[in-house]
Structure formats: structure tokens, C-alpha cells
Amino acid sequence: MNTVKPISATTLVLFGCAAAVAVAGLGCWLASPSEPLDFDVWLRAEQADVGWIQGLPPVYSKLLPGGGNPEPENCQPRLWPSIRRISNQYHPGAAYEMRSTPRPDGSGLQATYDANGNLLRDGLAAGSADRASPGSGWNPFLLLAHNNRDVIPFVRAAQLDGNAVHPTLFYRDLDAPILVVGEHLRAYSKVRPVFGPVREVQPGTCAAAVH
């Protein structure tokens, strides 16, 4: 029987914690070097703080042909400034990803699309709400905060559900597919929902105009 190794606290997580506090005043969940993240403690804290989900921006129902950005460039402000191709175990089947501009509290929304540019609305392939959004660029502090608040709990939930998965360097991907979606991943999805109350808008519409 294979043993699923727990996620241990690392320098990465420590920097992520510091970034979460410095960037958005967010709390942190750190395990000691010999202990994994306590998912139940994390979950209870998140269940007590879900108000931030209500203000997430509308999401585009489809990309432009060829994977183009559906948000017009003249929109002010632009809530979905960029799009990128993805291929990973976190969102199997997703070909494109958009992330909304982080709000003042650090939160944001991830939307994923299939190879034809159609919005993915459910399952692991779909995007989700981020308590600490990494944004659409490569700001290392935002990425580390995102890992700490959103990614590490997701990986831990997958492990607790019996999936023999482990993160690759900097949590960029998983080393194996998620085969079981059990009670922990379902609990995670309730505090990091795919869209929650978010509305969908058509390509060519300024999301900010209906937000």
C-alpha cells in the first residue's frame, strides 16, 4: 500500500505567509516541519469568512476565436487583462486560464476554458475563487500568498481523500492525477467555489460595466 506523504512546511510556505500578510493582511496557515496542514482547522476558519466571495467579478462565457481575450481593450477598468495556455493536473482538460485582477483584499477569480474556448463550469477542470489571487502576472509575492491560502489546502484535501499526489517545485503542478473527489475536496470547493454568485457575460462586453 502506497503511503501518501503529507505536505510539510517549507521556506516557500513561510514566504507565502509573509506575502499574505504584507500584500493583503491575510491570515496564514503554517504547519511545523514535521506536520501537514491541519485541513479541518483551515476549513473552519474559511467557513467563518466567506463574505469575500460575494464581490467577485462576472466571468466570460467564451473566449474569442483562437483563444483570444473576450474583454475589449478599451474597458475601464479591465478586470480580465490577460489569458494564458495551461496544461496541468490541477485542472485536467482545461486549455486556457484567465485570472481577474486582484481586489484590494487580495481575492480574485480564476476561469478556465477548453480547447475550443468554452467556459468550464464544473469538475476539477473548472477554475475557482481565490482568497489570495496570484493575478495574471508573475508577481512572486502574490504567487506565494496564493500557494499558502489556496493551493496548499487544495493539495492537502486531495491527499486526505486518498489521492497519492504531491506538488512539484513551487506547487506549479501535481506529480499525478487526482482520481478521487471525496469529502475533503468537496468541502474545499464550498469555500473556494467555481463561481458562486458570479454572473456570466458575453465576449465583447465590459465585465466592469455589469459588475
Residue numbers of the domain that contains 45: 11-210
The number of domains in the chain is 1
- Residue pLDDT, tens place only, 157-211: 999 999 999 999 999 999 999 999 999 999 999 999 998 677 999 999 999 998 7
**Confidence (pLDDT) at 137:** 76
b vs e for 38-63, b when ≥16 Cβ sit within 10 Å of the residue's Cβ? Answer: ebeebbeebeeeeeebeebbbbbbeb
Number of C-alpha atoms within 13 angstroms, CB side, residue 148?
29
Residue 1 lies in a domain: no
3 part of a folded domain: no
Rounded to 10 deg, the angle between the 183-191 and 39-47 helix axes is 30
Residue 21, pLDDT > 60, answer no
Please say if the pLDDT value at position 30 is more than 70: no
pLDDT, greater one: 12 or 165:
165
- Reduce the DSSP state of residue 32 to 3 states and report it: coil
Q: Across all residues in the chain, what is the average pLDDT? A: 86
Coil, strand or helix: which one is 20? helix
Residue 2 in any domain: the answer is no
**Which phi-psi region, left, alpha or beta, contains residue 49 (left: φ > 0; alpha: ψ -120 to 50)?**
beta
pLDDT in tens, 70-125: 999 999 999 999 999 999 999 999 999 999 999 999 999 999 999 999 999 999 99
**Considering the domain boundaries, does residue 4 fall inside one?**
no
Q: What is the pLDDT of residues 33-43, one digit of tens each?
A: 345 789 999 99
